[in-house]
Structures are given as C-alpha cells and as structure tokens.
A and B are shown apart, each in its own frame.
Chain A
Amino acid sequence: MQVETAMTNNYMRERVSWFYSRFDFPPRDVAKREFGFGWNSKIDQRHKSFPSPKELGEFLRREAPLYASYSVAYYQIPDGRPMQRKGFLGAELAFDIDRPRIGTHKHNEVICPACLDAARQDALQLLEEYLLGDFGFFHHEISANFSGSKGYHLHVDSEAVRELGSDGRREIAEYASEPRGELLVEEEIRGDAREFYEEKKRGASKLITGPGEKARGWGKKLYDEAVIALKASPLEGERKKLALENLRRGNYGAVKGTEKIWERAKADAIAKHALVLDKQVTLDTARLIRLPETIHGGTGLIAKKCDLRSFDPLTDALAFPEKTMVRVKPAKDAAFELMGKTFETKEGVAVDLPEPAAMLLMLKGCASLA
C-alpha cells in the first residue's frame, strides 16, 4: 500500500510539473505579490515572492505544488514578516462563490455538475447584478476564474478599490449577501400626517412604509418584487389599483390584507438577489487566493480564467491530455461525469481512464496508480 501511495504521489508530482512546463499566465505585478504553496494542504508555505514571472514559472516547474495561491494585496516587500513589514500598497477586491444556492438534487461526491452550474450562475449574477450594476465597476476591471474545485472567484482591480479597508470590503460583501436593516417599517400614524388622511379615516392607526418606485439598491429589488407579487395576487379591481398606486409612493399599508403579499415579496427578493459569498475572502486584505491558471490539487482541474456565460469546467478546465490513458486501481465505487462522458469505476478493479479522470480520482484519494 505504501509503495502504491508513493508511486501515485510521484506520478502526480511529475504530471503537475509537466503541466507547469507550459505555465505562462503570471498575475499582474508579480514582484509585488505574496505567494503561498501547498503540497499536503492548501498552503504549507507562504510569504514567498518572485522578482519576475520567470522565477515564478521556474518554481512551479521545479517544486510542482498541488496548490498555488497569491495575495490579493500588493506589497512593497511581499516576503516580509511579520505582516506590518510587508508595506501594504493596496489590494484587489476578491469574491469567492463556492456554496451555490441550489435545491435538492442528486449530489455527486466526486464532482457535481449541478453544483458547479449553480455556482457559475451565482457568479454570473454577482458579476452582472452587483459588480457591473449596483457597484458600477467597469467590465475591464473585473476578471473571473473557476476556483478549480467547487466554485468561482471574481477579482476587481481598480484604483477605486485598492485602498479600501476591511470595513468597506465587508460592506460590499454584506450588501450582495443580504438586505440589512428593515425593508418595511411599521409606525404609528402621527396626528398631523395629512397625506395619510385616507388611512386615518379608515381607522388605520399604523402605517407600513417601504421603498417606492424611485428606490435604489435593495429597496429597488424589494419594490420590483412587491409589484410582481401584487400583480399576481388575488386582489381585484379598485383594491388592486389603489394598492399599486400607493406602492409607488412607498405606502404598503393602504389596502387591508396585503401584508402577506409583502411578506412574500420580501422572501422572493431575498431568494432571488441574496448571494452566498465567503465574506472572509472579500474583507481580508491579507488573504491568499488561488492563483488563476494553476492546478487545484483536489481535482487536477485548472483554476481557469473564464467567461461566466459559457464556461463548463468539466470540459474547459482540463489540465491533462484526454488521449493519455492511465491505469488506476479505484479504492471505492464511483460514478462521475467529465469531458462530456460518464465514468464508472468499481472498488479494486483496475481500469484505464483518460488522464484527467484518473488524476481526479487519485487526487481525491479515490484511486491509486495501478
């Protein structure tokens, strides 16, 4: 067993080194970044730096790390320790989506196409609705890459965000994750509130106010959902018209019995717009994150830069040639999709697999070299 493990490890290291013999995608400003590498875990060694892309490439080929990460921050002395010595110059704004919003599905433990596609859609929503929409970043300031495993990373690199501290970054991450504060406010109708004369005449003592048609941000998201929910509600005729007119000016309490419609609208707005982000990645300026275009040591897939509209990691992020066949001995039964094909393996039954599939199983500890 030990011999098998050693053989498998040697093989994987040799192939990772082969992959890096073609590596030519250094990040911007290599000399100002801190790097971290892992062979047994994601980061075994950090505080590394390289004067130029050439030295980085040589290191990757020579050491063949299973994981390569780099700092979202730029430093004067990237290998300085402790952190204060590095001389912080600014940092990209990074986002990590690896827990997609997905309902019940047949989850595959080896690699799950449904989860990957849901993560891609969430990343696309983050890009279009938030980064380009609400936050107003420019397209050329944003890059997206597959994480190499379960999700996607998005990076914003612009002068506007480089100096942002953790507080500001947290605000951005939380904004895309949840509507903080109350969207609808219930308050007493004050005696001099003439504009709510109608409500008072009806005997209403409380006022429910919220975002109207001119609202922005999360208010706009709720307002849009409220309009949809109201139009789809069983409310009819004049009552519906009155509710809609009042909704436009932010009065949610004009028509009795509409409370459930607003509750539904709020729930729909959250379900549709609140993304699940790993906020720590966004707010931590000292963070190391997967280096795009490097291998993920848990899958053998590339953390590939991508167009989120059309990317399929199961065919577009392969690091090894499909035509090379590798004989592996599975440690357990497995069935999974890769390269547009379905593979099934039985525990203990040696099988020839295309190298990307063989590497996936070996890196997941589900097989060894036969």
Chain B
Amino acid sequence: MQQESPKYPFLSASKGSVDGELKEDEIERAAAFLMDALAGKAHVPSAKTYALSRLLLHALDDGWAYGKFADAMAKTIGDADIPAVAADFFPSCSRGKIPLSEYLKGGGSLSGAALDNGAVTLDADELRLLVRNAVRRKILDFRNARRDLIPKRVLEIAEEMRKKLPKPSHVTARGKNLELPCVQVLLKGEPEGSRYYGAMALAIACVRDGLSKEAAFDVMDEYARRCAHGTHPFSARETRDVAEWVYRHPNVRFSCRRMRDNNLAPPEICEKCRWKPR
C-alpha cells in the first residue's frame, strides 16, 4: 500500500514519482511551501512540491535553511505512522531491534543504547526519536545532487528567496585565539578533508579564549553551516561533539604546527601572525 501512495514524500516508495517538465507555478508553490517550512509551519507536501523544495534548498545552499527545513519535515510524521516509516528507514528492524550498522546510518546514538551482539533494542520513545532523526538526515543528504544541473529558473527563484531569509549570523565572539589569522580563515568554512581538524582548532580557540560552551556552540554552528557539503554532509552536531570533547579536555593547546600539518594555515597566513610559528 505504501508503494502505491506513500503518505510521506521522503519514503523510498516516493523515489522516481516526480517527472515531467517544471512549470513556473509548481516552482512558486514549492518556494511558498519552503518559506512556510522555514517559518516552522510545515505540513505534508506532495511528492513534487517536496522534491522542488529540496531543489530550491540546494540552490540556496544555506546551512540555517537546511536544518530548519529538515526539522520541519521530520515533525510532520504522526506518532501512528512511526512504525511504517521505521520499516522504510530500517528495513531489518524487528520488534524494536535494529542492526547496529542500520541504526548508526540512521543517525542513532550509542549513548545509553541497549546494544548487544550487533543490535540495538529500542522502546517506543527511542524509536520515534530515531525515526525523526533519520528523516532529518535523509533530507540533508545531498551527496548525489549536482549543483550544475539545477535549472536556471530554480536558481533565480532561490536568489529571490535568499533576500527574505534571516541574515546569516556572524561570529561576534572575540579573543586572542579566535582573532588569529588562520582561525579567521577557518571561520569562513573548510572543504571536506579539513573540516574536522578545522572544527577541533576552532573549539580549542574557543576554550582558550574563555568562551562558555554555549557561546562556543554558536561559533561551531556557524562554522558547520559554512563548511562545504561534500561526500558526507558535515553537521552542526559533529562540530558540537568536537566542542564537547574539547571542553572536557580544556588543557588541549592550540598548535600552529598542527594547523600547518593539516593544511589549515598556509605560510602566507602564518607570516601575518603575531605569534611566531611553533
């Protein structure tokens, strides 16, 4: 039944259900839906509106918008539908037991998890949280999307929408580490391969500058949003996890050498630095 008429457009049965040429009114409808979702007023859209909303979202390429849209869509799942959605995302799920690899790919956490012999056992509340998180992750997964194939009209409408989005927040936190030239470059975002080390350096700068953990989370969120969405999406959660670790180990020092080793501080940046490279 799910395959004939999937209730939610993010279910696998919806895949391929959108075809035909794009009509102006469809794109505008999707844009309106996306703006509603970004304002927290989401409802379950048609498969086409959903697909076009994601296309617009990808054209926008805005970290805040990605997160907000995914949250709004995940909230549309009714409690009664959780088992059906769970079966779609975790096909091996049986009686609340999910194989470890499926559980982790769906964004599950092992903190406090009832893990035994390669399977995690969940109660109803845990399953609901997991399913919503998995939906969120799927919506944020753009690994197969190519920006160069986005139709011109979609890009134009996305640009119009961008003017209505909240202005990107800027990192206002200051400190002698956060103001280092290499850290300032980091704050503009890093490409895949350097994102994790960048997050680590940034979190160390925050802790050394005496920022509270909450203030550091703001810095890390901003960093995550500016980092490229590569083969693996780089989530705010990942950067927050890094900050959590650094705040648990506050004696970790900022290292110029590590910055250089990880290609985070090219020589021309170090030359501008008031610290002598160590």
Q: Interface with B: A16-24, A166-174, A231-239, A293-301, which one?
A: A166-174
The answer to whether A84 and B118 have CB atoms under 8 Å apart is: no
Closest chain A CB from B118 CB (angstroms): 2
Partner of B110, one of A217, A220, A284: A217
Main secondary structure, interface of A, reads: helix
In this complex, the member of A134, A167, A170 whose beta carbon has the largest number of chain B beta carbons within 10 angstroms is: A167
The chain B residue with its CB closest to the CB of A283 is B196
Query: Known contacts A84-B230, A167-B235: does B100 contact A136 (CB below 8 Å)?
Result: yes
Contact B115 A217 (CB under 8 A): yes
Asked if A133 contacts B117 (CB within 8 A), the reply is yes
Q: Quick check: B105 and A168 within 8 Å, CB to CB?
A: yes
With A160-B99, A181-B111 known as contacts, the answer to whether A166 contacts B238 (CB < 8 A) is yes
Interface string of B113-152 (1 = CB under 8 A from A): 1111111010000000000000000000000000000000
Asked whether B3 is an interface residue with its Cβ less than 8 Å from the other chain, the reply is no
A84 to B241 Cα, complex, angstroms: 24
B196→A135 contact, CB < 8 A: no
Taken residue by residue from 221 to 254, chain A's Cβ proximity to chain B (1 for < 8 Å, 0 otherwise) reads as 0000000000000000000000000000000000
- For the complex of A and B, 3 pairs with smallest distance between CB atoms: A136-B118, A168-B104, A83-B193
Q: Does A82 contact B (CB under 8 A)?
A: yes
Contact (Cβ within 8 A) B191 A174: no
Does the CB pair B110–A167 fall under 8 Å? Answer: no
Q: How far is the CB of B233 from chain A (nearest CB, A)?
A: 8
Residues B77-117 near A (CB distance < 8 A): 99-101, 104-105, 107-117
A171 touches B191 (CB 8 A): no
Name the interface residues of B176-200: CB closer than 8 Å to any CB of A: 191-193, 196
Interface flag for B231 (CB, 8 Å):
yes
Docked complex Cα distance between A174 and B235 (Å): 18
Please indicate the chain B residues that have their CB under 8 angstroms from the CB of A161 in the complex. 101
Interface residues of A in 329-350 (CB under 8 A from B): none
| List of A residues within 8 angstroms of B163 by Cβ | none
Interface hub of A82, A88, A170, A218 (most chain B Cβ within 10 A): A170
B115 touches A216 (CB 8 A): yes
Q: Once the chains bind, are B115 and A82 in contact (CB under 8 Å)? A: no
Q: Does B232 contact A (CB under 8 A)?
A: yes
- We find that the number of chain A residues with CB closer than 8 angstroms to chain B is 35
Inter-chain contact A135/B114, CB cutoff 8 Å: no
Could you write out 6 A-B pairs with CB less than 8 Å apart? Answer: A82-B191, A165-B105, A171-B111, A172-B110, A174-B111, A175-B110
Query: Quick one: closest A residue to B195, CB to CB?
Result: A166
Minimum CB–CB distance for A17 against chain B, Å: 28
Whether A175 contacts B115 in the complex (CB less than 8 A), given A167-B238, A216-B121, comes out as yes
Query: In the complex, what residues of B have CB within 8 A of residue A88's CB?
Result: 231-232
* A84–B100 CB distance below 8 A: no
Measured between C-beta atoms, what is the minimum distance from B24 to chain A in Å?
34
B237 contacts chain A at the CB level, 8 A cutoff: yes
The answer to the question of A69 belonging to the interface, with a C-beta cut-off of 8 Å to chain B, is no
Pick the contact of A219: B107, B114, B119 (CB < 8 A).
Answer: B114
A137 to B111 Cα, complex, angstroms: 19
19 more contacts with CB within 8 A, not counting A168-B101, A216-B121, are: A83-B192, A84-B193, A133-B117, A135-B115, A136-B99, A136-B116, A136-B117, A165-B105, A166-B196, A167-B107, A167-B238, A172-B104, A175-B110, A175-B113, A216-B114, A217-B112, A217-B115, A219-B112, A280-B196
Separation of A84 and B232 alpha carbons in the complex (Å): 10
Residues of A within 8 A of B109 (CB): 171
Instruction: Judge whether B121 and A170 touch: CB under 8 Å.
Output: no
A220 near B116 with CB under 8 A, answer: yes
CA distance A283 to B196 in the complex (A): 10
How far is B103's CA from A136's CA once the two chains are assembled, in angstroms? Answer: 13
Binary contact readout B195-213 vs A (1 if CB under 8 angstroms, 0 otherwise): 0100000000000000000
When each residue 71-87 of chain A gets 1 if its CB lies under 8 Å from chain B and 0 otherwise, what string results? 00000000000111000
**CA gap between A152 and B193 in the complex, in Å:** 25
B112 partner, pick from A160, A181, A220, A285, beta carbons under 8 A:
A181
Chain A contacts of B232 at CB under 8 A? 88, 165-166, 285
Closest to A170 in B: B241
- In the complex, A161→B99 CA distance in Å? 11
Residues of B within 8 A of A220 (CB): 116
- On whether A135 and B108 interact (CB within 8 A), knowing A84-B231, A167-B238, the answer reads no
Most buried by A among B113, B115, B118: B115
A269 CB → nearest B CB, Å: 14
Docked-complex contact A134 and B116, CB < 8 angstroms: yes
Contacts of A171 in B (CB 8 A): 104, 108-111
B105 touches A135 (CB 8 A): no
A268 at the interface (CB under 8 A from B): no
The residue that A84 contacts in the complex, of B107, B192, B235, with Cβ under 8 A, is: B192
Is A323 positioned at the interface, with any CB of B under 8 Å from its CB? no
Q: Does A164 have its Cβ within 8 Å of any Cβ on chain B?
A: yes
Residue numbers in B under 8 Å from A168 (CB-CB): 101, 104-105
Of A133, A216, A219, A286, which is within 8 A of B193 by CB? A286
Among the listed A163, A170, A280, which residue makes an inter-chain contact with B105, where contact means beta carbons less than 8 Å apart?
A: A163
Question: For the complex, is A28 an interface residue (Cβ under 8 Å from B)?
Answer: no
Digitize A131-174: 1 where CB-to-B-CB distance is under 8 Å, 0 elsewhere: 00111110000000000000000000000110111111011101
Residues in chain B near residue A219, CB distance under 8 A: 112, 114
Write out the residue numbers on chain A whose beta carbons fall within 8 Å of the beta carbon of B241: 170
- B198 → chain A closest CB, angstroms: 13
Instruction: List, in ascending order, chain B residues with CB within 8 A of A137's CB.
Output: 118
CA distance A136 to B105 in the complex (A): 16
Report B-chain residues with C-beta under 8 Å of the C-beta of A167: 104, 107, 235, 237-238
User: Which of B107, B119, B231, B238 lies in contact with A136, CB distance below 8 A?
Assistant: B119
Chain A residues with CB under 8 A of B111: 171, 174, 180-181
With CB as the reference atom, state the residue of chain B lying closest to A219.
B114
CB nearest to A137 among chain B residues? B118
Bound-complex Cα distance A268 to B101 (A) = 29
